[in-house]
Structure 1
Amino acid sequence: MAAGVLFVHNNFPAQFRDLSEGLVARGVPCFAIGFEHSPGVPGVSLVRYRLPRGTGKDVFPLAIRAEADLLRGRSALDGARWLKEQGHDPQLIVGHPGWGETSLLSHVFPQAKQVLFSEFYYHGRDSDIDFDPEFWNGDDEALIRGKAKNAVMAMALAEAEVIVAPTAFQASRLPPAFHARTRVIHEGIDVEAIRPGPAEPFQLADGRVLTPGAPVITHINNNMEPMRGLHSFARALPRLLAKVPDAQVVIIGEEKTRGYGADAPGGQTWKQAIFAPLEPQLDLARVHFLGKVPHARMLAALRLSTAHVYYSYPFVLSWSIVEAMASGCYVIGSDTAPVRDAIVDGVNGRLLPFFDVDALSDALIAACRAPEASAPLRAAARETAVAKFSRAGGRAAWFDLMAQLGLQIPAI
């Protein structure tokens, strides 16, 4: 029977794209299980599953996530059985346990060693849920629901030979019982393709053009939400725009009612809820909401950036900050645990208290008035991205781990 690697991800390939492509290029048999919308990877046989139904109406509220995860786990099990019938018997299972698909696979492939990617282990207290007093009302049930989201994921992680977390902070969120089996490997970005380069004129939707050399502040917030500091950023803008009359602000992200965190109040989008109260103080002609943009356009905005703002609750570290660093941006980040895994204050960027709007305004004004002062921090950010977050480094670490687990990976 064909050995090799079985990848499991709700949206395969996601974080496993480079790893699966690298193995296929070296002749390692690879196959995968993913939900019906999974795009797949050339050379990887992909089984897409569908759910037989949604969660039941009368399920105990704390068990809703567990039931949904087990529905996905049961459907993935059927996919695994089909793969076994086709002659596949993986040596390794590399999966994301966050949606339940890996939870039952040992029933079909009991001999396979599992390496599970722990993107985020949920907590109740002292977590993203209760971090921001403005948007958390002290609801104790919300904390309990947060912990309950781990039920099936914990079951899956308990069977893993090795657990991989992308950053030290994300690894630290795992229960102590899992720490000895956990390794930190960031999947990495292509630091050869994403690198500093000359800024070019940047045309906006209304035909106006942002010219290189003018002060431009960038902010990437995929779901336009407080979890990535949209409110702190927005509230720093009135004073920035008043003090720096030629400053321009570029914001990239989709306007949504909900992102990773809670719903916006009153059926609004978070953009509406946060920016509407500020409109009397803002020169909106200089605040440009680009929405979701192609990756190349995002990188072009970063190359134009005088300062890039990245804030985050205690949550997953975004790829966008790493790409900003690789682009040689001057990153102004929040002094929160996930950001401290990338930025050291005063060395390769700045770290500011998440809720101190005045501190952020001051930093942005200073960046615009003396852009040359950030040159050493920009260079150090690029060096950090290459050293800690390169795709080649992540792939090499994964290959080394898989080889330790017995997988033969031929050289190209």
Structure 2
Amino acid sequence: MKILLIHQNFPGQYKHLAPALVQLGHQVVALTPKVKKQTKWNGVNVLPYGIKGSSTKGIHPWLMDFETKLLRGHSCYNAAMHLKELGFSPDIIMAHHGWGESMFLKDVWPNARLGLYCELYHLTTYPFINFDPEFPSQSEEMDRLRIRLKNLNNRLHEEVMDAGISPTRFQADTFPDIYQDRITVCHDGVNTEAVVPNAQAVLELTDGKTVTRDDEVITFINRNLEPYRGYHVFMRALPELLRRRPNAQVVLLGGDEVSYGAKAPDGKTWKQIFIDEVRDQISDEDWARVHYLGRVPYNRFLAMMQVSRVHVYLTYPFVLSWSLLEAMSAECAIVASGTDPVKEVMTEGETGRMVDFFDKEALVEKVCDLLENEEERRHLGKQAREFVVKNYDLRSVCLPNQLDWVTKLAQLSPRPPLD
């Protein structure tokens, strides 16, 4: 088959699927703005396209999000038309449609089957809005209208989507009923052969010191340190954690930007706002045991998981982080928020411990309890890894299921674009 992949940050979620399709003998082409010139990646012919145009000054703020997606969709359409002129006609197209690129591809190739990566449908009800009372909507009534309009991209894609794939049941269930019979739940997968416990792991800290499995290490990871992933809750628990655990080294990984939710006020960063909030509660001596690594290469991230004695994961009801399943694969003893995305992959007392997202006192207690109980840490870690190997292993579970989804996608009758 001829397969076209669309992703603004290619390979993204197609990191493992794309090479597997090449190995099966398919011709795989990717369109992405990430590269500046044509290149090959694991047998995939990766083609660039530029995003032309910019947001209109003075446009209604609710339309800015869609206009950005429209600009990407139009630019990708032009690149697709050029591909068509060169004689390329895909049997199937797979796209992460969240940025709008695939909006008009059925107009280029109406007989292609379109499979979408269905990451999230934006809902206007609690807990999807106003979950965190500390950061309420400025106007809940207006937010409902704005968020409904934000789904315009999802709705336009629904008309032409032949099949969808969603990494978790929580995410798939955010989509309306009209989507449900076309969405398959299948995670991207965890390479459990690479993400393993390692008694010899060493993590270098920012001051040149190192920590190992012999040290008491508490870890916390966000792509960016922000409230959506509970950074504020963790920071407010930090003074008491440091007081009760005088030998603990606390390691945080994550950038200073915003992945989800609102930007920090006054040009600040969420990272610094919550450092400033708790810093006067922590002595200089204790603060020296707190280490911010920023963003790191994958091997350093893995070492962080492997030296962790207790790993903390907190999230709003939102897209589940890959890092949680990777922490489970590394046999981390985990304390996580008891929010719905976490409950899908963890069971209290079997594969980890859970706390109310907002309860910093309970977070301190459960982390300290685990640090005192080596046998429970070992039990939870082993059970967590066994669960991930059984249900989320890349090679034996997820990749075969993804390939099966592609096969079924190719057998569908394509939906034409609608007027």
Q: TM-score, normalised by structure 2?
A: 0.92
Contact kept? 1:168, 1:184, Cα under 8 Å: yes
How many Å apart are 1:47 and its aligned residue?
Answer: 2.6
- Seen in structure 2, the aligned counterparts of structure 1 residues 127 and 31 have a Cα distance that, compared at 3 Å, is farther
Please give the alpha-carbon distance, in whole angstroms, between the structure 2 residues aligned to 1:194 and 1:202: 15
Partner of 2:329: 326
Please give the alpha-carbon distance, in whole angstroms, between the structure 2 residues aligned to 1:349 and 1:36: 38
Partner of 2:19: 21
Partner of 2:95: 95
Partner of 1:175: 176
Partner of 2:405: 401
Please give the alpha-carbon distance, in whole angstroms, between the structure 1 residues aligned to 2:383 and 2:30: 38
- Which one-letter code corresponds to 1:136 in the other structure? P
Partner of 2:77: 77
Please give the alpha-carbon distance, in whole angstroms, between the structure 1 residues aligned to 2:60 and 2:220: 40
> Deviations 1:87-142 (Å, cap 9, x if unpaired)?
21111111111011111111111001111001111122324442111012442233
Partner of 2:253: 252
Partner of 2:165: 164
How many Å apart are 1:36 and its aligned residue?
Answer: 4.1
> Deviations 1:341-369 (Å, cap 9, x if unpaired)?
21111110111100011000001111122
- Which one-letter code corresponds to 1:45 in the other structure? N
Partner of 2:51: 51
- Which one-letter code corresponds to 2:2 in the other structure? G
Partner of 1:341: 344
Please give the alpha-carbon distance, in whole angstroms, between the structure 1 residues aligned to 2:147 and 2:214: 45
- Seen in structure 2, the aligned counterparts of structure 1 residues 107 and 137 have a Cα distance that, compared at 3 Å, is closer
Runs of 4+ in structure 1 deviating by more than 3 angstroms, as ranges, are 36-40
How many Å apart are 1:48 and its aligned residue?
Answer: 1.7
How many Å apart are 1:23 and its aligned residue?
Answer: 0.8
Partner of 2:388: 385
Contact kept? 2:168, 2:185, Cα under 8 Å: yes
Partner of 1:202: 203
Partner of 2:417: none
Please give the alpha-carbon distance, in whole angstroms, between the structure 2 residues aligned to 1:401 and 1:314: 27
How many Å apart are 1:228 and its aligned residue?
Answer: 0.5
Which structure 2 residues correspond to residues 237-386 of structure 1 after superposition, within 5 A? 237-256=238-257, 258-282=258-282, 283-386=286-389
Q: Which deviates the most, 343-352 or 192-201?
A: 192-201
Contact kept? 2:202, 2:303, Cα under 8 Å: no
> Deviations 1:15-65 (Å, cap 9, x if unpaired)?
011111001112101111112448873322223221221121132222221
Please give the alpha-carbon distance, in whole angstroms, between the structure 2 residues aligned to 1:190 and 1:121: 27
- Which one-letter code corresponds to 2:404 in the other structure? D
Please give the alpha-carbon distance, in whole angstroms, between the structure 2 residues aligned to 1:326 and 1:18: 18
SS at match of 2:31: strand
- Which one-letter code corresponds to 1:111 in the other structure? N
Contact kept? 1:7, 1:31, Cα under 8 Å: yes
Q: Which deviates the most, 358-367 or 197-206?
A: 197-206
Q: Percent identity?
A: 37
Please give the alpha-carbon distance, in whole angstroms, between the structure 2 residues aligned to 1:404 and 1:152: 25
- Which one-letter code corresponds to 1:9 in the other structure? H
- Which one-letter code corresponds to 2:68 in the other structure? A
Please give the alpha-carbon distance, in whole angstroms, between the structure 1 residues aligned to 2:290 and 2:148: 38
Please give the alpha-carbon distance, in whole angstroms, between the structure 1 residues aligned to 2:403 and 2:202: 41
SS at match of 2:252: strand
SS at match of 1:104: helix
How many Å apart are 1:380 and its aligned residue?
Answer: 1.0
Q: TM-score, normalised by structure 1?
A: 0.94
> Deviations 1:266-318 (Å, cap 9, x if unpaired)?
22111111121101222211111111111111111111111111111111111
SS at match of 1:15: helix
Please give the alpha-carbon distance, in whole angstroms, between the structure 2 residues aligned to 1:80 and 1:312: 38
Please give the alpha-carbon distance, in whole angstroms, between the structure 2 residues aligned to 1:51 and 1:117: 21
Contact kept? 2:213, 2:309, Cα under 8 Å: no
SS at match of 1:102: helix
Please give the alpha-carbon distance, in whole angstroms, between the structure 2 residues aligned to 1:373 and 1:60: 55
Please give the alpha-carbon distance, in whole angstroms, between the structure 2 residues aligned to 1:103 and 1:201: 46
- Which one-letter code corresponds to 1:329 in the other structure? C
Please give the alpha-carbon distance, in whole angstroms, between the structure 2 residues aligned to 1:303 and 1:36: 32
Partner of 1:410: none
SS at match of 1:274: helix
> RMSD value over aligned CA atoms?
1.7
Contact kept? 1:129, 1:146, Cα under 8 Å: no
Please give the alpha-carbon distance, in whole angstroms, between the structure 2 residues aligned to 1:268 and 1:170: 31
Q: Which deviates the most, 27-36 or 245-254?
A: 27-36
Which structure 2 residues correspond to residues 207-226 of structure 1 after superposition, within 5 A? 207-226=208-227
